[in-house]
Amino acid sequence: MFEELKTFISVVEFKNFTKAGNHLNLSQPTVSTHIKNLENYFGTTLINRSIKQKNIFITEKGYILYKRAKEIINLMDVTYREISNNSNTITGTIKIGASSTIGDYILPKFLSIFSEKYPDINVEIFIENTSSVCADIRNFILDIGLIEGNLNDSNFNKGYFLKDKLALILPYNPRLYTEDFSFSSLQDQKWILRENGSGTREYLDLFLSKYKILPKNIMIVGSNYAVKESVKNGLGVSIISKFIAYPAVENNEVSIIELDSTFTRNFSYILPKDVNTSDITQLFLRELKLYAASLY
């Protein structure tokens, strides 16, 4: 049953029998047999298969089993470490989804420290916008999500690990005096925006609404780096995290205007609800919080 559960977890995560088999070094018939054994044992359909489209669909009861199977595997890992000679060594894999500001500008330095300290932990990072990270956590594809923006959703366990300020960025102007700057000058300007679902986009929309600003036109780009580069090259203005804006200012790439506390936000971590958190995830969170505290 243990091997069947491991197979089932992989099928759910890969959404494909062949890919799950390759990951586990099993043949596709073996994967199919493992799934059929589980369905016979529980007396229910766990996975619906579309032969014509070659797609699979996890049933509601399948997702229930997936959650419990993850807990069982995590518990077995903990038990193994407790009774084996390797009890002081933490090994395994953690899958992390991060929104782009965190993934591109916070995690790289942290992961270099974390990986040196825990070389036997494999870390898989997926950079997506906030809404995509939330969807992957909800579907149990990821172990932990690191997101920006407001999240009022009772389907997650969540908490904060780092505070961020957003700033208005403009093309570099060494003669810009912030005390003389008026937001009214932003009327009829070109704006560089992230896509809907981005945490930064949420605050930019709030800024435009608060100051009743009507953009002349907008350009939507898919990353914060692209936002900064677009402003740097005179294509428009935008709002972006201090972790991106401040280094760009130091390099004379852009100019910035500080914003009020309305545009201060928390970077959050989210976890699947009603699933026991693995030792590796708890360790990762503890180390991340310690690193974040050092940035203040």
Lowest mean pLDDT segment, chosen from 79-83, 265-269, 281-285? 79-83
Asked whether the predicted pLDDT for residue 87 surpasses 50, the reply is no
C-alpha closest to that of 280 among 69, 78, 141 = 78
**How many Å apart are CA 58 and CA 46, to the nearest integer?**
6
Rounded CA-CA distance 107/147 in Å is 12
Tokens of residue 106, six digits: 């916070």
Which residue bears the tokens 């997101």? Answer: 147
Query: Which H/E stretch holds residue 237?
Result: none
Nearest-5° angle of CA 186, CA 190, CA 195? 110
Instruction: Return the closest-CA partner of residue 265 out of 239, 229, 235, 247.
Output: 239
| Nearest of 209, 194, 190 to residue 241 by alpha carbon | 194
Q: State the CB neighbour count (10 A cutoff) for residue 78.
A: 14
Q: How far apart are CA 248 and CA 53, in angstroms?
A: 48
Task: Spell out where the chain has E strands.
Answer: 47-50, 55-58, 92-98, 121-127, 144-147, 156-171, 190-194, 217-221, 238-241, 254-258, 264-272
Q: Are 33 and 60 in contact (CB under 8 A)?
A: no
Residue range 58-75: mean pLDDT, rounded: 86
Residue 77, CA distances (Å) to 21, 74, 120, 171 in order:
21, 5, 14, 52
- Polymer length in residues for the chain: 296
For 229-268, the pLDDT digits (tens) are 999 999 999 999 999 999 999 999 999 999 999 999 999 9
Confidence class for position 295, pLDDT limits 50, 70, 90: confident
Classify residue 295 by its DSSP letter: T
Model-level pTM greater than 0.85? no
List pLDDT tens digits, range 118-139. 998 999 999 998 888 998 898 8
Token code pair at residue 270: 């989210």
Domains of the chain: 1-84 (1.10.10.10), 162-263 (3.40.190.10)
What are the distances in angstroms from CA 232 to CA 92, 101, 110, 134?
42, 18, 27, 31
Give the helix/strand (H/E) hosting 80. Answer: helix 60-83
User: pLDDT, tens digit, for every residue of 21-49?
Assistant: 888 888 888 998 989 988 889 999 999 88
